[in-house]
Amino acid sequence: MTPHEKTRLLEQIAAIPAMERGKLSPRATGRHYKLQCWQEGKNHTRHVPADDLPAVQDALDGYAQYRQLTEQYADLVIQETRQNLATAKKKTRSRPPSSWRSKKKSST
């Protein structure tokens, strides 16, 4: 893993133009769509006019892309963290014991 990979992912995240959470469902009337999302412990519903559907769908796609990219970024950082921890353990184990910890001689 290189810092370039993390930077590339962050640049892709920053380039997402619009985001919206939720699920879009057609309404029975056909003139509006229902956008539902879970926020602050509650289900919120918005009605989206058919004219706004393409923009809302693009925003939903943007959020899906954001989630996928942040998952990849997290995977890279977790992998890097685990490698650093493993390297730190190897460094501390390979060190010879210190000479100042010598046993005391009995005075009897």
Quote the pLDDT of residue 88.
79
* CA distance to 41, 44, 46, 69, 95, per residue, from 55 (Å): 26, 19, 14, 21, 60
Query: What pLDDT was estimated at residue 74?
Result: 96
**Strand pairing category for 23-26 and 42-49:** unpaired
CB-CB contact of 9 with 72 (8 Å): yes
For residues 44 and 38, what is the distance between their CA atoms, to the nearest angstrom?
A: 6
Which tens digit of pLDDT belongs to each residue from 31-50? 889 999 999 999 999 999 98
- Dump pLDDT digits (tens) for 64-101: 999 999 999 999 999 999 999 988 777 765 555 666 66
Given a contact cutoff of 8 angstroms between Cβ atoms, the answer to whether 32 and 47 are in contact is yes
